[in-house]
Structure formats: C-alpha cells, structure tokens
Amino acid sequence: MMIHILTGEDIQRALPMEQAIDAVKGAFTQLSRGQAEVPLRTALDVTRHNGVTLFMPAYLSDDDAMALKIVSVFDDNPSKGLPLIHALVVVVDAETGAPEAVMDGTYLTALRTAAASGAATDALARPDAQVMAIFGAGAQGRTQLEAVCAVRPVSAAWIYDLDRERANAVAEQVGEKLGLFIKVAETPGHAASRADVICTTTTSSSPVFDDSDVRPGTHINAIGAYTPRMQEIPPETVLRAKVVIDHHEAALAEAGDLVIPMEEGLITAEHIHAELGDVLSGARPGRESADEITLFKSVGVAVQDVAAARAALQAARELGLGKEVTL
C-alpha cells in the first residue's frame, strides 16, 4: 500500500490561500445541498491532561472525496513550549476505501479555517472593507489575516491579544509577509471600533469586545469558540447581526456564541439566517445593505478538511511535493 505523506510546508507550497478558499467554497455548497456525509465529531476528553481529542470524518459525494481528521487541543501545551493544537489528516480513496495520504493537520486546520472566513468575508463583507481587527495572535490569527486580504482590499489591520509580545510578533512577521500595516491595539475596543472586518480566534469563555464597539456595516468571522460554553461575541451583537453559520447541526450543538444567547432567551434558532453554502450558491441572500452587521459563526466542519486535503494532495502530486512510502 502506497501512502503519500505531506508536511505542513508541502501543503503551504501546494495550496495557496486563494485556492484553499475556492476549495472550501465548493465544500460548503455541497454541504448545504445535502451532498455530504458529516457525522458530528466525536470528542474524547482527556481531563487528566486538560485536553480533548476530536475525530472528524466526512465524505463529499459530488467530489467523491473522503478524509478523516484527528485533532487535539491541549490547553497546557503552550506552557510546555508545545503548540496548543496538534492534528493529522488521513485522505481515503472513496472508490476503494484505501488510505491515500497522511498529512500535517495542524497547518491544514489553520488554512481551511481561515479559508472559510475568506469565503464568508467574500460573501458577506462590504466590497469596500479595508480595515481588519484580529483577536488572538496564534496560528489562526496569522492565517485569518491572509484570508481576508485575499478577498478584500485591506489597507490596515489591528491585532489584540492578552500576550502583547505575541501580538507584536504577529504584527511584524505577517505585516512584512503581506505588505500590510498591522498595529497592536491597547484595548479590545481600539481594535473592534475601527474595523470593517473582525476575526475572533481565541479560546475565550466570555466576549472579547463590547457590543458598543461594533459599528454598522461590520462583518465578523467568529471561529474561536467551538464548544457550548465558549463565547467570543457579545449576545447583543449576535442579536442585531445577520447570522450565517457553517452547518446547522454542528452550530446548534457546539457554538457557544449562539447556544448561550438561546439559553438566555435572547434569540431562537430562527435567528440564524442561513448556512454559508446557501449564501454561496445564491439560495439565500447575503449582505443586503451597507449598514447591516453580518456574523459568520463557524465551529469547523470536516468537509473543509476533505476539500482542502484533496486540493492539496492533487497539487502536491503535480508539483512533485511530499514523499511516497510503502506500508
């Protein structure tokens, strides 16, 4: 059995952000059309070590593509000098069931999550959006900047993180890479109140900015809170926003940014406007006015991994990247 192995560097070379966004757009469209099999992810809590390991399979019938991601989030890792997230993706031949490839899922997760925000920003943000705000200076903060810059004429960005040193590092490194002026914000309000597009990429259990900081016409990508008890967005902001999600079943089960306002009686499930795939396909409208606040709430769906992994594998083979090994 031949297995193709791709490192994070291989994926980065094989799949530029623009192509990742296109791949993820197709995956979301298939998901909303009922052309995907996506069981709710299985979570294995490892409370002894303050972590959780998730198992995320999916099959895209239109693409005839299948993969499984194993991703671990261990909160104590950064204090040990280790990444918060480790992940591995296995691509499976949908015709035979044979494993085709194994690839670094840590970078792929950062890439496909940012690509979803890029797709949502392209569908929902004002065409003239130029200023970004990023909350969280981890791996996601870096790729979210790249994704939004791929679909909007961003001229400046603000970044806020409790760790100012880490925020400074992202501002310098990513700003140089993208040719973008990125400034570290002193307070959450300094970042949010100046932004046309806000991306939240934290593991917070309480809102990371105030509702009063959000201006009319703002688009928000909320991708950090992925459990019912995590929360990045003020409930008042959710209430006055047009809410678009990645997947109904996953969002209602896992998105604390929506679950908590529902528990408080501020909104119901009917407040959700649409899945992103419905907006991308034209089945549901996206932004309908310049003053509208739009919110893309994502908890992550395995179809993103399938689409990104398939695209990365195809491109890597064409470019001669990675290694073939025999099991």
In this predicted model, what pLDDT tens digit does every residue of 244-279 receive, in sequence order? 999 999 899 999 999 999 999 999 999 999 999 999
Rounded CA separation 23/14 (Å): 13
List residues with catalytic annotation. Answer: 69
Contact 218, 158 (CB under 8 A): no
Contact 291, 277 (CB under 8 A): no
β-bridge mates for residue 52, sequence order: 45, 73
- Of 39-48, 145-154, 213-222, the one with minimum mean pLDDT is 39-48
Residues 124, 14: one domain?
no
Residues 289, 164: one domain?
yes
Contact 117, 224 (CB under 8 A): no
Contact 306, 89 (CB under 8 A): no
Residues 250, 307: one domain?
no
* 239 CB-near residues (< 8 Å, 6+ apart): 261, 266, 267, 271
Q: How many domains is the chain built from?
A: 2
Residues 81, 103: one domain?
yes
Average pLDDT, the chain: 96
Residue range 95-120: mean pLDDT, rounded: 96
pLDDT digit string (tens) for 279-317? 999 999 999 999 999 999 999 999 999 999 999 999 999
pLDDT digit string (tens) for 189-201? 999 999 999 999 9
Contact 209, 191 (CB under 8 A): yes
DSSP H or E run through 274? strand 272-275
pLDDT digit string (tens) for 32-54? 999 999 998 899 999 999 999 99
**DSSP letter string over 303-318?**
HHHHHHHHHHHHHHHH
Q: What is the largest CA-CA distance in the chain?
A: 58
Residues 67, 207: one domain?
no
Contact 132, 151 (CB under 8 A): no
Residues 132, 84: one domain?
no
pLDDT of residue 258: 97
Number of Cβ within 10 Å of residue 61's Cβ equals 14
Rounded CA separation 157/312 (Å): 29
Neighbour-count burial of 324, counting CB atoms closer than 10 A to its CB (0-12 exposed, 13-18 middle, 19+ buried): exposed
* 56 CB-near residues (< 8 Å, 6+ apart): 41, 68, 69, 70, 71, 300, 302, 305
Residues 203, 294: one domain?
yes
Residues 181, 127: one domain?
yes
Residues 123, 105: one domain?
no
**DSSP letter string over 121-152?**
HHHHS-TT--EEEEE--SHHHHHHHHHHHHHS
CATH at residue 20: 3.30.1780.10
Res. 1: pLDDT tops 90:
no
Residues 279, 142: one domain?
yes
CATH at residue 159: 3.40.50.720
Q: Tell me the H-state helices in 75-138.
A: 105-124
Residues 130, 269: one domain?
yes
Strand 51-60 and strand 65-74: the pairing is antiparallel
β-bridge mates for residue 274, sequence order: 244
| pTM score over 0.75 | yes
Range of the domain at 307: 2-109+303-326
Rounded CA separation 307/234 (Å): 32
Helix 105-124 to helix 302-319 angle, to the nearest 10 degrees?
A: 110
Contact 51, 26 (CB under 8 A): no
DSSP H or E run through 248? helix 248-254
Locate 277 and state its tokens: 């795939």
Strand 131-135 and strand 156-160: the pairing is parallel
Closest to 138 in 3D by CA, of 97, 173, 167: 167
Res. 327: pLDDT tops 90:
no
pLDDT of residue 293: 98
Closest to 195 in 3D by CA, of 293, 261, 115: 293
Residues 167, 291: one domain?
yes
